[in-house]
Structure 1
Amino acid sequence: MAKVEKDPFRCTECGWTSQKWVGRCGECQAWGCVEEIAAPKKLSLVPGHVTHKATPIGDVDLSAAHARPTGVSELDRVLGGGLVPGAAILLAGEPGVGKSTLLLSVAAQTASKGLSALYISGEESASQVRLRAERIKAIDPLLFLASETDLGAVIAHIDAVKPQLVIIDSVQTIGSATADGSPGGVTQVREVAGALIRICKDRDITLLLVGHVTKDGSIAGPRLLEHIVDVVLQFEGERHSRLRLIRAIKNRFGASDEVGCFDLSDAGIESVLDPTGLFTSR
């Protein structure tokens, strides 16, 4: 017998639940988004399709698991060596802190080594990103750029470019026509991130997801997002200071207590081995 949900109604935007239907969500205050939760399907015990045959652990190929340096030394140190093929990395930070600048630099460094990189912007037009790339000297023929907000279109770009690195800026702006709710909502973020992670892991593509933060500094979206990625990085900094910090909150490939220091300027972002100079008045 299927277990009956304690709260049979859920908000498709934020995941808030209620024992009865209401027109307005009691958490995010959105209208018309509270829907009845469908009865759970019976668990199937029929064997499914095997994507990869089980292998003795000593015979597992490690050639595709070695980290590739990003070209940004402090980021490499925080990551535990660089970008691991098939890894899913979430970089969260406040607007304007420099997330896009950092990842555009990483994409250009990747492309300069002969590896294709795909940068998907859901917040800016391609021309806006191109202007920033010119300013920080991040132009390379193997760095591909697209402005998209639809998951299907993003997957089509991945199929066409066949990149080694995919950057999604940001995951909250990408929507799926087959998922409930609107882009940025809990359900949409969960489904979009899950689909991209499955595709990239299957193809050994490194995936970098940009995430937003809430007013209290926590990562926006479902908590599940932090669980399904391999690395969670918090990007911090004050608007009046050039100093930027990246903290590893979770890292399956290295230490989770590393902190990297960076200098953000009009020319781009650079690693800082000794940040004391950035604290002195200029």
Structure 2
Amino acid sequence: MDFRNAVELLEYCEVKNKSLSEAMLEREMTLFHLSQEKVWERMKHAYAIMKRATHLPLEKDLKSMGGLLGGEAKRLYKRYEEGKTVCGSLMAKAISYAVGVLEVNSSMGLIVAAPTAGSSGVIPGVLLAIQEEYALEDEVMVQALFNAGAVGYLITLNATVSGAEGGCQAEVGAASAMAAAALCELMGGSPRECLDAASTALTNILGLVCDPIAGLVEAPCQKRNAMGASNALISAEMTLSGIRHLIPFDETVEAMYKVGKSMPSELRETAMGGVAATPTACQLCKGIF
């Protein structure tokens, strides 16, 4: 059992009365010749790593290898704890957790590159926040990860999740789309609504460049993970409210890929354009190296 695009995935889900997560679980079992228990345990392990990566920056003082990050998650979370957040509890926790994972990554800690290291904060940030907000069990969250995996698989197969190939729209954009789809399923959305939310999330970040200061996955990557988490929440909320995305998922992915290919190399992870090429960024680069 396999699917090569969203049309095939939706057809399978509708004929078999399956969710996106169930379809992806079946694909993994078939493709790798593994039992459901084995596939589930692997995803459960990934979620455990995600959870640890969101909480570690709140417990310890982490410093990135390049010295550009450290302590941001604690600062954000403190505002939430003090009741000063302008975002509301769910959004405040989601962005705190998302930036925290980037602190773990940049300090050489253990993260899940889902879909990449540079966008690794989006999915755990969103899922941990929603789990706490609604007191959901871990098993429910692991199921949602299979949904996110289906979306990530389709983007990887038909486009890219690489910043060097498609800009940050491919990295944080893909992560945001994956998180939005997973959120939709968690909140009772249909497979079609999940893909609609993913399309909305991708469209919202279309054209975002990849311009890491000093070539490090630190800044502005960390703040873009926070933006990606909020984008996922927004996209899911709009979809669940009955607001349709006009462009089908497959076409949105194709558009993202074409936009990425049309970007000059300076805007695709080379640190030769965008904010990475500003005078201040160049000074920071000299200080690091």
State the TM bucket, normalised to the shorter chain: under 0.3
TM-score of the aligned structures, taking structure 1 as reference length:
0.26
Looking at secondary structure, tell me which structure has more strand per residue. Answer: 1
TM-score by length of 2: 0.25
